[in-house]
Structure 1
Amino acid sequence: MTTHLRGSAHRDYVTLPWGRVHYRHAGDQDAPVVLMLHQSPLSSATYEPALAPLAARGVRAVAVDTPGFGMSDAAPGPWSIPEYARAVWQIADAIGLDSVHLLGQHTGAIVAAEAALQQRRRVRGLVFQGIPLYSDEERAEKSASYAPGYTPADDGGHLRVIWDRVRWLYPTIGAESASRQVAEYLSVGPDYAVAYRAVFAHRLDTAALAGIPTLLLHGGDDVLNRMNKEVQAAFPDAPLTVIPGGTDFVAEEQPEEFASALAAHVRAHADGESGESGGASAAGARGRGTAPVPLSKSLYTATVEAEGGRAGRVHSLTGALDLPLSRPADRADGDPGSDPEELFAAGFAACFRSALDVAARRRRTALAATTVTASVTLGTTASTGGSGPDRYGLAVALHVSDPGVPADELTELVADADLICPYANAIRGNIPVSTQVTGKG
């Protein structure tokens, strides 16, 4: 049982603009990573006993003290959940982590979810160890009255206030764990509810997390076990693992059981998909010869009838499309005909532009005057080994422009959109695609 903040795991600090961030870690550098975010107002010490068991199961575990908690320096002022989430990625970058699984408990779960929305392509999976999906009424009520803080008293009476609060929340935990929590409360200061208020003010878009491999994991006596119905409705594809007899601190009470459940999820999705609808891996590529992933749900079907080939006509059976076709080489000025490459370019550009809207919404970024231009080239490809006839093929060039968005930010949005757009997912690994981004600056 952990009785103090230090513990016995490997511990380090990284320095960021607002100060130093403390974290503890275990496991091989090349193992799949789970980045662990604790509940407030506590610290990464919650996960101390589970780090070695996770490492023994082939997982690199990194447990962070949220800025302002544990042994991390405080943020420069009250942060919103999106600001805490952006800090997660700054911390990950400073540690040298790329793709990760995010585990969050309570406040940490809300931060983890928002972090996944901000940089979805880096998230291999999510684990929610109790995620508070409060109603608007409950958020308003808690914002007004929850966690009122304490006033330091010369006679030490505030220590009793903290102790009584911990015991009220977790009446069955041991005295050693409760003692450590008193130290964690004291490390934050009298206003220990700063992250709580950020949660109560935040409205999480759970639907936008669809497709990310997600596990619901907590003790049977976790205070948020009462929300299982709401959470399972929000994440219908996420399995629920409840460890009997475990409280909020099941990671320290039953570290082997906790590590087994967590490691199984991490390993199952260690090299899997990034979670974007359409099923593309963040690293790239489903190439030729790989079995296609069937749709799990049909959203819309377009049906178009073609007559006469490239010099014929296309007519939609589900919409208003009705166009003559003509071969580009035969097309004269004023010819109303189109061709399959133009139609493909139109579909790709429109789809990618919509995907950018989704990416911007997930990152809480505003687009200004974004345009997407798609150029589709028909050509031939040399036959394998240089023998046999050449084959016809396509190449795509995308140009994304928005003079109102910084170029580096727009580049990140384009990378996100590439994983969202069904056209991009369909051709990945089969058709060469080049992308040019023009932003502000």
Structure 2
Amino acid sequence: MSAHATHLRGTAHRGYLELPWGQVHYRRSGDTAGPALVIVHQSPLSSATYEPAMAALGAHGLNAVAIDIPGFGMSDAPPAPWSVPEYATALWQIADALGLDRIHLLGQHTGAIISAEATRLRRDRVLSLVFQGIPLYSDEERAEKAAGYAPGYLPAPDGSHLQVAWNRVRWLYPTISAESCSRQIAEYLSVGPDYGVAYRAVFAHRTDTDALKGVPTLLLHGSEDVLDRMNDVVTAAFPDAPLVRVEGGTDFVAEERPQEFADAVAAHVLAHAAAAEPSFRPVLTAVVDVSGGRAGRARSRTGSLDVALTRPAERAEGDTGTDPEELFAAGYAACFGGALGVAERRRRVTAGPVTVTASVTLGTVAAGAYAIAVRLTVTAPECPQETLEELVALTHTICPYSNAVRGNIEVITEVAGGS
């Protein structure tokens, strides 16, 4: 094992991001123009687990970024304990802050659960997945672990709490080196006595593996990984995913066999990197002629649209003309409502009657240019609020209007479901 595997530093570039809850630490290696691989570690450890493999991943031409999950390693903790969806949402904020759009995700244990949920939330941005052990616990296992796993420790003046942490790491990983164990003790201490906060989030969360169908996935871990026992469950959940077991490797195969680990990860990522430029397959084409600009007329060549256009400031009583903002609002609202129906089918839920209201505002920006902003209000009184929020988040990844304007204009979404 290389020397830098035993502490928190290393040779990869390291930096911090400023985000709403605080600073996020990351380490980066490789070509920033290459396929982006975001690595999410297990808790209560840090991105240091992957330091020995970072150079090898970068040598394959990848833009490898290993983050410290908020609250772990050298990243600030959120103001209150987070759920898995909150960690997953934060992961996309981190990706945005790093300037990454479509990415490959590698998650280990807790990090795998967060990566799976991040993929469910923004499937349009995930090109492929690597799960380095994903704990697909049954409801009974989650309840049992929530009752007593990772009980924490109390700092003691004689330092006996250090022995408690050491004994726990040794119990989990009896064959790892003393140097690796020492690094983990530093990571445990950096989190604090309640190092099980992310574990509890995992135990309270049920991973929706059906939502990940179709995402190219690799199952990769050491044969001595503590989650190797779950292979039957995991391969049943991901029947199309190849399973690669590094013989003799533990949970820390990335530091034990960095080149072998990097070769397997890079082969998977590069095989699916071409998906970063998705092909466009036409479904239909609408053709509309407009003469006279905002005070003219719009006539469709492919449908029955034939409407007068009127400048809002010049609209008189009884004027039946419309304007581009109304037409855009109608198109966005109709498209979003249709895409929400697709989201319902994917999530196997029914929202009931849904109304989508689109408000499109024309305004000015710098240098005298014009821009628009959108507010979408989605109302479904028969649908529970939490369910509707999940549907709307998924709909934004499906709706072509949302995909077209993302990153270009402000879109505020309001969701009004039932109790």
Q: TM-score, normalised by structure 1?
A: 0.69
Residues 134 and 349 (structure 1 numbering): CA distance in 2 closer, same or farther, change over 3 Å?
A: closer
Letter in 2 for 1:227: M
Counterpart in the other structure of 1:177: 180
Distance of 2:124 and 2:214 partners within structure 1 = 12
The answer (yes or no) to whether the contact 2:218–2:268 under 8 Å persists in 1 is yes
Q: Could you tell me how far 1:286 is from its partner in structure 2?
A: 3.4
Counterpart in the other structure of 1:298: none
Distance of 1:73 and 1:438 partners within structure 2 = 28
Which residue, out of 35, 38, 59, partners 1:35?
Answer: 38
Distance of 2:271 and 2:94 partners within structure 1 = 25
Counterpart in the other structure of 1:62: 65
The answer (yes or no) to whether the contact 1:370–1:401 under 8 Å persists in 2 is no
Which residue, out of 10, 13, 17, partners 2:13?
Answer: 10
The answer (yes or no) to whether the contact 1:350–1:372 under 8 Å persists in 2 is no
Which whole-Å deviations, capped at 9, do the CAs of 1:61-111 have from their partners, x for residues lacking one? Answer: 100000000000111111000000000001111111111001100000000
**Mapping for residues 34-433 of structure 1, pairs under 5 Å:** 34-272=37-275, 283=278, 285-286=280-281, 352-357=339-344, 369-370=354-355, 402-404=377-379, 413-418=394-399
Which whole-Å deviations, capped at 9, do the CAs of 1:107-149 have from their partners, x for residues lacking one? Answer: 0000000000111101000110000000111111100011110
Counterpart in the other structure of 1:294: none
The answer (yes or no) to whether the contact 2:129–2:216 under 8 Å persists in 1 is yes
The answer (yes or no) to whether the contact 2:104–2:127 under 8 Å persists in 1 is yes
Instruction: Point out where structure 2 has 5 or more consecutive residues left out of the alignment.
Output: 284-302, 305-334, 359-374, 381-388, 404-410
Counterpart in the other structure of 1:333: none
Letter in 2 for 1:202: H
Q: Could you tell me how far 1:418 is from its partner in structure 2?
A: 4.1
Instruction: Point out where structure 1 has 5 or more consecutive residues left out of the alignment.
Output: 274-280, 289-326, 329-347, 374-399, 425-436
Distance of 1:66 and 1:368 partners within structure 2 = 39
The answer (yes or no) to whether the contact 2:340–2:392 under 8 Å persists in 1 is no
Q: Could you tell me how far 1:356 is from its partner in structure 2?
A: 3.4
Distance of 2:271 and 2:345 partners within structure 1 = 27
Regions of 4+ moved over 3 Å? 348-353, 370-373, 400-405, 408-415, 437-441
Residues 211 and 25 (structure 1 numbering): CA distance in 2 closer, same or farther, change over 3 Å?
A: same
Q: Match of 1:223, SS?
A: coil
Residues 358 and 11 (structure 1 numbering): CA distance in 2 closer, same or farther, change over 3 Å?
A: farther
Residues 105 and 368 (structure 1 numbering): CA distance in 2 closer, same or farther, change over 3 Å?
A: farther
Distance of 1:367 and 1:24 partners within structure 2 = 46
Residues 352 and 19 (structure 1 numbering): CA distance in 2 closer, same or farther, change over 3 Å?
A: closer
Equivalenced residues, count = 335
Residues 38 and 367 (structure 1 numbering): CA distance in 2 closer, same or farther, change over 3 Å?
A: farther
Distance of 2:392 and 2:201 partners within structure 1 = 29
The answer (yes or no) to whether the contact 2:112–2:134 under 8 Å persists in 1 is yes
Q: Could you tell me how far 1:240 is from its partner in structure 2?
A: 0.5
Which whole-Å deviations, capped at 9, do the CAs of 1:197-250 have from their partners, x for residues lacking one? Answer: 000000111111100000000011000000000000001111111111110000
Q: Could you tell me how far 1:284 is from its partner in structure 2?
A: 5.1
Residues 438 and 87 (structure 1 numbering): CA distance in 2 closer, same or farther, change over 3 Å?
A: closer
Q: Could you tell me how far 1:370 is from its partner in structure 2?
A: 3.7
Distance of 1:439 and 1:53 partners within structure 2 = 42
Q: Could you tell me how far 1:58 is from its partner in structure 2?
A: 1.4
Distance of 1:243 and 1:212 partners within structure 2 = 23
Work out the percentage of aligned pairs sharing the same amino acid: 63
Q: Could you tell me how far 1:3 is from its partner in structure 2?
A: 1.6
Counterpart in the other structure of 1:22: 25
The answer (yes or no) to whether the contact 1:81–1:202 under 8 Å persists in 2 is yes
Q: Over aligned residue pairs, what C-alpha RMSD do you find?
A: 3.5
Distance of 2:377 and 2:120 partners within structure 1 = 22
Q: Could you tell me how far 1:369 is from its partner in structure 2?
A: 2.1
